[in-house]
Amino acid sequence: MGTAAKVSTGVLLLGLVSFITDVSSEMILPLLPLFIVALGGSGIAVGLVSGVGDSVADFLKIFSGYFSDRLGRRKPLVALGYFSSAFAKLFFPIATIWEHVLALRVVERIGKGVRTAPRDAMIAGYAAMEIRGKAFGVHRAMDTAGAVLGSIIAFLLLWFFALDFRQIFLAAALLAFLALLPLYFVKEVRSERRLESSFALSLKSLPADLKALILILMVFALGNISYMFFILRAREVFEAAKLAEQLSLSLPVLLYVLYNSVYATLAEPFGALSDRIGRANIMLGGFLLFSLMSLGFIFVGVRTLFILFALYGLVYAMTEGVGRAFVSDLCSEQLRGTALGAYHTATGFAAIAANLVAGVLWDVFGSEATFAYAASLPLLAALLLFFWKKKRQ
């Protein structure tokens, strides 16, 4: 808690909100690809649910970020986003076909789209540039600690209490509303209102270096396929090893816990390290590691699955919070919501393409083709970031 104490109370409260929300979400997410398959969905269905849901959220982030800049207030949009996501989760337990899951995932992700850019702008506003990587790292660590706990709860309910997917989803939905309590105590981060600035003008005002960086991050996102494919690959490996049905259902959840545990543990140290040695250096390492890890999933066995899921968590610790801090560094406070929204939206459009391609490759050519695709784009992103960094120097 020593390092966390150096960041503001606002960051810690927002981290607590995210912690509770992710406990709820991650009771659902590791089970979702298995639920989709149980409802008759294929690899393409998994890609659609993941890609469309997340991309709708990311499409909205640029507008919510822009409106928070115009209003000079962030908290109302943050609160609306958390409430609407919690409400949507109430309907997951009554889904009867995978298309219901697709529709509900879209509705639930709308809340994420409304809250994320204003919340990230609040975090950036609470922290000077010298500790901004640390602040985002602390928030990501708390967020992901909730994911760890949620995944563990899902495993325990599935394995020891023999609850079915629907019962677990209902418990998760009720828990989501508790996240609204600490949000009440979060103080608003006000900025100068930009009522005179149109949406197009706000986008045009973003620095050229920032626009180029967002494009590079978009290239990385084109290869950053959903966690759902990694879980399905784990299930595939366990079935090939002829493990018992209960084990092949439950062990992927434990691997997901491992991924999130590594992510939660290392997010703050890598955020702080980016404050010292530069965001680009950390991101470059993350891009290259993702490529190597994806190749590993082609040749994976039961034992190496645990190593690869740990590396998956390491990649996210190196890229998620650091990327947000990177974008925040390159824009003014008055444009921060718009800039973060543009970043999330660009990577969101890339995500739907990535997951649709991954789903088609999975169904037509097999899982190996999906992971070969995932390994290629991060290499290109690393090359582009290297030249971006060299040009700025």
Question: Which pLDDT score, from 0 to 100, does residue 238 have?
Answer: 86
Evaluate whether 263 touches 144 at the Cβ level (below 8 Å).
yes
Which residues, in sequence order, are CB contacts of 243 under 8 Å at separation 6+? 251
Tally of helices (H runs) and strands (E runs) in the chain: 16, 0
For the cut 60, the answer to whether the pLDDT of residue 357 exceeds it is yes
Report pLDDT digits (tens) over 263-308.
Answer: 989 988 999 999 999 999 999 999 999 999 999 999 988 889 999 9
Can you tell me the mean pLDDT for 187-213? 72
DSSP label at residue 72: T
Tokens 């066995």 belong to 301
> The pTM is what?
0.75
For the cut 90, the answer to whether the pLDDT of residue 373 exceeds it is yes
Q: DSSP letters along 273-316, please?
A: HHHHH-HHHHHHHHHHHHHHHHHHTTS--HHHHHHHHHHHHHHH
Evaluate whether 259 touches 312 at the Cβ level (below 8 Å).
yes
Does domain 10-185+199-392 fall under CATH 1.20.1250.20? My reply is yes
Query: What is the C-alpha to C-alpha distance for residues 3 and 269, in angstroms, rounded to an integer?
Result: 9
Distances from the Cα of 151 to the Cαs of 19, 44, 192, 260, 333, in angstroms?
12, 24, 40, 9, 36
Higher-confidence residue: 122 or 200?
122
Question: Which pLDDT score, from 0 to 100, does residue 279 have?
Answer: 93
Residue 9 is inside which H or E element, if any? helix 9-28
Candidate from 136-140, 185-189, 241-245 with smallest mean pLDDT: 241-245
Residue ranges covered by each domain of the chain: 10-185+199-392
Instruction: List the one residue out of 96, 32, 387 whose CA is nearest residue 213.
Output: 387
Output the CA torsion 15→267→290→46 (10° steps). Answer: -20
Residue type (1 letter), 226? S
Question: Which pLDDT score, from 0 to 100, does residue 4 have?
Answer: 42
